[in-house]
Chains A and B, each alone.
Chain A
Amino acid sequence: MKPFTATLTRDVLIALRSRTEMLNPIAFFLLVTVMFALVFGRDLGTRHLVGIPAIWTTALFANMLALEGLFRREHDDGTLALMLIDNSVTLPSTVAKLIAHWLLTGMPICILAPVLGVAFGMSQSTLLMLAGTLVVGSMVFTLVGSVCGALIVGLQRGGVLLTLLVFPLYIPVMLLGIGTCQLHQAGEEYTSHLVGSLAILAGCITAIPLAIGPVLRASQDQ
């Protein structure tokens, strides 16, 4: 087995064995979104209005909940050092970790979002657009968040710092994603917003996997 496949399999296996940790962000997303739907229960117009921003914002916070653990376990048990001492292993193993992280936190949210969107009275095409933009957005969240997670991995209780670092960086893709869905819902032209989100994703996919290794090494050098 190659380092990429082995690390991807390993991370999925660990997540399945620590179910509470894996389910926390998903449960948070589910509960908060349902709460939004209940709070604006009677007025369909208001629900229609707040649905997309509520789901996007909750997805963002759910992702942040899972972020601190991205490299923490590996740092604590010493496996991170083993991934970093050989340059040829660092890239495939860290990319595998990012993919596993998205599969275990981003993807379930993208699947749940259109189901929960029904409670906000969204049309079928808006639900599909919501899921599609969340796929792009959650990938950006994972990629951008991974760099910040890598920066603070050596720090004890870096959670607050992580939130402060990550939050401003998440805002552009969140606003573009919300804008795309809202314009689509209103029947207006949304291509520029969608292209903007895709451009951010393309930039992140190109640059971030190469940056993670050096950032992790720098955070070890403390």
Chain B
Amino acid sequence: MQGRELFNGLACRVEAGSTIEIHGSNGSGKSTLLRVLLGLQRPDHGTVTRHVGRIGYVGHRLGLTGLMTLGENLRWLGALAGHNSAESEVRGALERMGIGGCFNREVRHLSAGQAKRGALAGLTLSGSKLWLLDEPLSSLDDQGVSLLSEVLTSHREEGGSAIIATHASITDSSTETIELQN
């Protein structure tokens, strides 16, 4: 990346029902690694092989449009994933993240934490087997962290996987961890 080596010799395999946490200090390349896995950035060397269909992703930019309500955003996200999400389904996903009352509120009027919860609710509607989350804990309060943890557990129990770039661990000790050096 711009003459700087972020990581080398990195190899990992994501199995169904597993979670990988990527740890590292600021600027160590966590977000870049996620973008490489998503195909948004090309590595100088090496390959990424995907055996899953659509990947669910929540990055620093949440993928929610400020001028649309949270409900409209989530229905659009559902449509991108090929689902025709009914209003009740979207409301259910929002209630699961503790923000059922935000369905009709424009995203630009939500707090950062509410918007983050909304984006995470969108993931549950996407039907994606693999989730990539970039600093999912940022802006979340304790209740939000606990709800995210529940959602991740249930995703894994259903055979889903997740790769999470984070400063603080959010899953259990069985989770594989990749430590990136700065």
Per-residue A-contact encoding for B23-42, CB less than 8 Å = 1, 0 else: 00000000000010011111
Query: What 1/0 flags go to B41-68 for Cβ under 8 Å of A?
Result: 1100000000001110101111111111
B40-A73 in contact (CB<8A): no
A86 and B126 CA atoms in complex are apart in Å by 12
Q: Say yes or no: is B90 at the interface (Cβ < 8 Å to chain A).
A: no
For residue B72, CB closer than 8 A to chain A, the reply is yes
A6 and B61 in contact (CB under 8 A), knowing A86-B55, A217-B40, A221-B40?
no
Cβ-defined contact, B40 with A14, below 8 A = no
A220 in the interface (beta carbon within 8 A): yes
- Partner-contacting stretch, out of B74-82, B143-151, B172-180: B74-82
Please, what's the 1-or-0 string for B65-95, where 1 marks a CB less than 8 Å from any CB in chain A?
Answer: 1111000100111011010100000000000
Query: For the complex, what is the distance from the CA of A1 to the CA of B63, rounded to whole Å?
Result: 19
Chain A residue numbers with a CB within 8 Å of B77 are 82
B62 near A14 with CB under 8 A, answer no
Contact B62 A84 (CB under 8 A): no
Complex alpha-carbon distance, A164 and B155, angstroms: 49
Q: Which residue of A lies closest to B83 (CB)?
A: A1
Shortest distance from the beta carbon of B4 to any chain A beta carbon, whole Å: 14
Q: What is the distance, in angstroms, from B84's C-beta to the closest C-beta of chain A?
A: 6
Residues of B within 8 A of A86 (CB): 53-55, 80
Flag if B41 contacts A221 (CB, 8 Å): yes
CB distance from A96 to the nearest CB of B (A): 11
Q: Is the CB of B80 within 8 A of A6?
A: yes
Cβ of A7 and Cβ of B67 under 8 Å apart?
no
- When the two chains form the complex, which single residue of B54, B55, B64 contacts A79, counting CB atoms closer than 8 Å? B64
A82 and B57 in contact (CB under 8 A), knowing A17-B67, A73-B65, A77-B64? Answer: yes
A83 at interface, CB cutoff 8 A: yes
Which of B42, B61, B65, B66 touches A81 (beta carbons < 8 Å)? B61
**A3 & B80 in contact (Cβ 8 Å cutoff):** yes
Expressed in whole angstroms, the minimum distance between the Cβ of B137 and any Cβ of chain A is 17
B68 and A10: CB pair below 8 A? yes
A42 interfacial contact with B, CB 8 Å: no
Q: Are A89 and B63 closer than 8 Å at their CB atoms?
A: no
Chain A positions 65 through 90: 1 when the CB is less than 8 Å from some CB of chain B, otherwise 0: 00000000110111101111110010
Is A18 interfacial (CB-CB < 8 Å)? yes
Q: Among the listed B53, B66, B82, which residue makes an inter-chain contact with A77, where contact means beta carbons less than 8 Å apart? A: B66
Q: Which of A1, A14, A83 contacts B65 (CB 8 A)?
A: A14
Q: Is the CB of B79 within 8 A of A84?
A: no
Does B65 lie within 8 Å of A84, measured CB to CB? no
Contact B61 A3 (CB under 8 A): no
Apart from A7-B80, A13-B67, A81-B38, 13 more pairs, CB < 8 Å: A3-B80, A10-B76, A17-B68, A77-B61, A78-B62, A85-B57, A86-B54, A217-B39, A220-B35, A220-B40, A221-B40, A221-B41, A221-B42
